[in-house]
Amino acid sequence: MNDSEFNQQVDSVLLRIEEQVEKLADALDEDIDWESGHGMLKIDLPRGKLIFSRQPPVHQLWLAAPDTGYHCNWDGSEWRCDKSGESLASLLARYSVQLCGKAIEL
């Protein structure tokens, strides 16, 4: 994957996550704050934060969760954790349930 493809994939997934967070905030009727810019997306959920950050030198998307961090690689069809192989979609759903009681679906 070249730099341009990497940036397109990160931009795409971060935009999809933002859209789903907005839908979740409306559904829960709660104040869920998020901020994006400079290659990062920070989501403040009722019981914790999730932070996604673009890592151009290694072509990874990192997720900082309350208990640990994940380094995700693009496998040609989706982002996957480099150690466990778990998909970013699965990580996001699991942590959003833990932090607000409802899954953010990708």
* Residue 105 in domain: no
CA-CA distance, 33 to 43, in Å (whole number)?
A: 6
Q: Which CATH number is 42's domain given?
A: 3.30.920.10
Q: Average per-residue pLDDT in the chain?
A: 93
pLDDT for position 29: 72
pLDDT in tens, 16-54: 999 999 888 888 777 788 999 888 999 999 999 999 999
Whether residue 41 lies inside any domain: the answer is yes
Separation between Cα atoms, residue 36 and residue 89, nearest integer Å: 18
pLDDT at 73 over 90: yes
What is the pLDDT averaged over residues 77-97? 95
Give pLDDT, residue 18: 94
Residues 27, 66: Cα–Cα separation, whole Å:
23
Split into its structural domains, the chain has a count of 1
**Mean pLDDT along residues 50-70:** 97
State the residue range of the domain holding 91: 3-100
The whole-angstrom separation of Cα 66 and Cα 50 is 7
- Written as six digits, the tokens of 64 are 């900082």
